Structure 1
């Protein structure tokens, strides 16, 4: 299988990463730019154990490919994000690559919502999953209304959000995202040694 460079054609359907238990194999199977992601992540992880991870990738009609890897090493969430630069914002084929590290102690709440349906036989099936991790940091903050601004600015906590559906990822990726949410949930609020 050939992989296009970050200026090439993008397949409409991405390979499934869910069968791969190790980060490198999953990234190489799923991401368009696995070398960039793995190099950025290894610079932060520096040999730390990867306890769990989730991957996301989609094609945006304006920016091209958007990719994300989130790794949990037991004390931190390490996020890599890669995104094609919109036309006109840089030379053709340009992309951004960024890393964010969030201490698990900054996660105050983990939420996991599944959409369940019953099949004709009565069996319950998970059609989609949405996971959020609420953080202590603020996403937007502001003060009370002033004469110039009649509505107060809302204050809300930063959150990390992830989702998978049967159409976007399939049953395997839904299961792996649920597994990731359970891992983070089991670690949040525990004393860090």
Structure 2
């Protein structure tokens, strides 16, 4: 696959996935196992590369909502050991569904660059969600325990997705707010 096209102009998750994701059929099939695509009210996509000891790894993510659930599809390139002592490249993919009722706090932040003539230009959008889902705890004293809940953070900027993807992340945040 060459350089991905921008997914933001597409209102259909299937169409957006085909131009943006390396593994669109897998993503759509796994998301379809959780929610029928026509029920999706809003979605955003992101992808990136990490440098691993075995080479460059791609990660891909789709975040969608049907107004009742947060659906997260994620795929990561990885390496697995083989029985003969070698290794093979693999793709780890999952679809996750989280009830919106478990989200206790949502923050949609926008950052604007102030230009020389005083006008503002959207520079970055951040969506943070905090849930009731406990990921770990640590006992500090006999009477005190720190509890850590799962949270999610999504960022789009001028350099990471551009204006259309920032606007889509804002739209996604507003759909979530109205659905909670």
Q: TM-score, normalised by structure 1?
A: 0.82
| Pair 1:80 & 2:76 matched | no
Q: In the superposition, relative to structure 1, how do residues 121 and 138 fare at CA in structure 2: closer, same or farther (>3 Å)?
A: same
Residue-pair matches, total:
172
* Pairing partner for 2:94 from 94, 98, 101: 98
CA contact (8 A) 2:70 2:98 kept: yes
Q: What is the alpha-carbon distance in structure 2 between the residues aligned to residue 77 and residue 171 of structure 1?
A: 23
What are the within-5 Å matches in structure 2 for residues 82-161 of structure 1?
82-86=75-79, 89=81, 91-145=87-141, 154-161=146-153
Q: Deviations over 1:20-79 (max 9, x none)?
A: 111111111111111111010001114661100011100111260011111100111111
Structure 2 unpaired stretches of 5+? none
- Cα RMSD between the aligned structures? 1.9
Q: Which has the larger share of strand? A: 2
Q: What is the alpha-carbon distance in structure 1 between the residues aligned to residue 92 and residue 131 of structure 2?
A: 24
Residue matched to 1:68? 61
Q: In the superposition, relative to structure 1, how do residues 89 and 18 fare at CA in structure 2: closer, same or farther (>3 Å)?
A: farther
| Pair 1:55 & 2:45 matched | yes
| Pair 1:25 & 2:15 matched | yes
Q: What is the alpha-carbon distance in structure 2 between the residues aligned to residue 89 and residue 130 of structure 1?
A: 37
Structure 1 unpaired stretches of 5+? 4-10, 147-151, 189-193
Q: What is the alpha-carbon distance in structure 1 between the residues aligned to residue 19 and residue 58 of structure 2?
A: 15
Dislocated runs of 4+, deviation >3 Å: 88-93
